Amino acid sequence: MTAMKTSRRILLAGLAGLAVAPPAVMAAVPPLANDDTTVAEERFARMIAAAHAPDVTCARQAQRYADTHWPEYVVAARAVLDARA
């Protein structure tokens, strides 16, 4: 049951990331420094990155993709977290 909830969260985070910052916009934004990223922003950015992995069906590949690319999704994570506040 927990895996299903986690999968839904990742899917929703990915959809939110697409709605807030599509890949074309993300490419134009310079990567942010990791120093000013909060823990919540980093975790949410990792969730969005995992949802955008080329092979989402493989958990290990999605995790590796998230570990590598999460800084690219910080802008989207901040936008979603700011919208919830």
Provide the pLDDT for residue 1. Answer: 45
The reply to whether the predicted model has a pTM over 0.85 is no
What does the DSSP assignment read for the chain? -HHHHHHHHHHHHHHHHHHHS-HHHHHHSPPPPGGG--HHHHHHHHHHHHHT-TTTT-HHHHHHHHHHHGGGGHHHHHHHHHHH-
Residues of the chain scoring pLDDT < 50: 1-2, 33
Provide the pLDDT for residue 37. Answer: 86
Provide the pLDDT for residue 55. Answer: 80
Provide the pLDDT for residue 19. Answer: 52
Provide the pLDDT for residue 10. Answer: 63
